[in-house]
Amino acid sequence: MNKNNPLPSAENGQKQKTTFSGNIGYILAVAGSAVGLGNIWRFPYLAAKYGGGIFLLVYLILMMTFGYAMIVSETAIGRMTGKSPVGAFSSFGSKKWLKCGGWINAVIPMLILPYYSVIGGWVVKYCWEYLRGQADALAGDEFFGGFISNSLVSEICFVVFVLAAFFVIVAGVKNGIEAVSKIIMPALVVLAIITAIYSVTRPGALAGVKYFLVPNFKDFSIMTVVAAMGQMFYSLSLAMGILITYGSYLKKDSDIEKNTTRVEWFDTGIAILAGLMIIPAVFAFTGGDIKTLKAGPSLMFITLPKVFDSMGFGNLIGSVFFIMVLFAALTSAISLFETCTATISEELRMNRTFSSVIVLAVSLLLGTASVFGYGIWSFVEIFGMQILDFFDFLTNSLMMPISAFFICILVIKVIGFDGIAEEVKRSSKFNRQPMYYVVTKYIAPFFLMIILASSIASTLGLITI
């Protein structure tokens, strides 16, 4: 530990509010945060676009090294301070950059939550339509575009989604987040397995399984690494204050290292299942046309409904699939909501319910702008992007690498590796300590700057990602 900057005492840090009731509750809540639209909607189209099996291999290596190191850092910082990001950073001194590091971690979820809930609203709409037996209509070319440009209907779906997250937050950490995660996460696993089995057993699907699982080194490029890295941040909910906040609710005897390993494998397992649900199904549907798979973000809302419709039992399989996506999106939105609520109640010293009402109001405001951006305000463009895409770019491509950089610097310069090790070793063996050290000190800061530079370069049109 750095002698000039003693760590906040653990006991002070533990004077906090509520905690998870036990390890399982914590793991499910963190896994619920990690497993979201990132796994089911984003991972499969990126994997398809950046080389299939080779993308998966690079992703696994990054997840076990870089992802592991970031989760451990954030959780340890949260648990040793007992605070959400702003308070956690400020516990180590009053320097300006510490304030800045805390706030950037805290602001990211407030900017993500609104647009994430808009996409959550799209999922609500698809669930509703499949449950009403509208698989044919959903498979039509015009459905998705027609829906998102109808600002009123999209707004209603968005509000339904955001209110669902709000009510869970008002119920609290144990009775809300933990209780919901305990029911939703196992259900999600069962639904994912059923859908994946159905998909890989379609005629012609095996070629898709092979493309997704078997690495072909010819498909490797530097963009495979950049894309896998960005996806890993997104998927593991890194560098957005969530893991610091959830770490602050973690009991001192919970094994940080074991929990981290469980969460990263659970998250990756669901992403792999999602790949197995989507890639082979699209292969079977198109006769192996990789171009369709590269459709990008529209894969889940435009291509998949066509695939489901062609499969037989379209309404049933569509309902199961989109209910699963809804569960995943909801538990992630809850974690974003919780981080914002915790920051406001700590920093402005307000009670939890009032803080969550503020978060709800901001989400409704910014989310409505994103909804309108595809509808009545579609003429608005920011750097050539629609409002929702702009929020996504701002948070994931620009702010997240900077925020992660602040976390690395906090560990390297202020807390020190011994400080982190001391916290982790309260309850874990910390077997991967040497790897943690090398990754955090030498690899992470360098890679983070590469991600930032490549995002900026691609926005300026200098490279294509």
Give residues in contact with ligand PFF (CB under 6 A): 34, 36-39, 112, 116, 234-235, 237, 332, 395-396
Closer Cβ to ligand PFF, 195 or 395, answer by number? 395
Closer Cβ to ligand PFF, 113 or 173, answer by number? 113
Amino acid at 95: K
Residue 187 C-beta: closest distance to ligand PFF, Å: 17
Task: Measure the CA–CA gap between 465 and 282, rounded to whole angstroms.
Answer: 22
Q: Which residue is nearest to ligand PFF (CB)?
A: 38
Residue 392 C-beta: closest distance to ligand PFF, Å: 7
Closer Cβ to ligand PFF, 128 or 393, answer by number? 393
302 contacts: CB under 8 Å, gap ≥ 6: 141, 143, 144, 295
Closer Cβ to ligand PFF, 90 or 117, answer by number? 117
The alpha helices in 132-251, defined as continuous H runs, are 135-138, 143-148, 151-171, 179-200, 206-213, 222-235, 242-248
Residue 171 C-beta: closest distance to ligand PFF, Å: 20
Closer Cβ to ligand PFF, 112 or 364, answer by number? 112
DSSP class of residue 266 equals H
Q: Comparing C-alpha atoms, which of 65, 72, 109, 390 is closest to residue 228? A: 65
**Burial class of 156 by CB neighbour count within 10 A (0 to 12, 13 to 18, 19+):** middle
Residue 438 C-beta: closest distance to ligand PFF, Å: 25
Residue 26 C-beta: closest distance to ligand PFF, Å: 16
Residue 338 C-beta: closest distance to ligand PFF, Å: 12
DSSP string, 218-258: GG--HHHHHHHHHHHHHHTTTTSSHHHHHHHTS-TTS-HHH
Q: SS3 for 143?
A: helix
Beta bridge partners of 382: 385
Dihedral in degrees, nearest 10, Cα atoms 145, 149, 150, 154? 90
Beta bridge partners of 455: none
Residue 36 C-beta: closest distance to ligand PFF, Å: 2
213 near 206, Cβ under 8 Å?
A: no
Closer Cβ to ligand PFF, 116 or 158, answer by number? 116
Closer Cβ to ligand PFF, 36 or 121, answer by number? 36
Task: Measure the CA–CA gap between 465 and 463, rounded to whole angstroms.
Answer: 6
Closer Cβ to ligand PFF, 31 or 179, answer by number? 31
Residue 371 C-beta: closest distance to ligand PFF, Å: 17
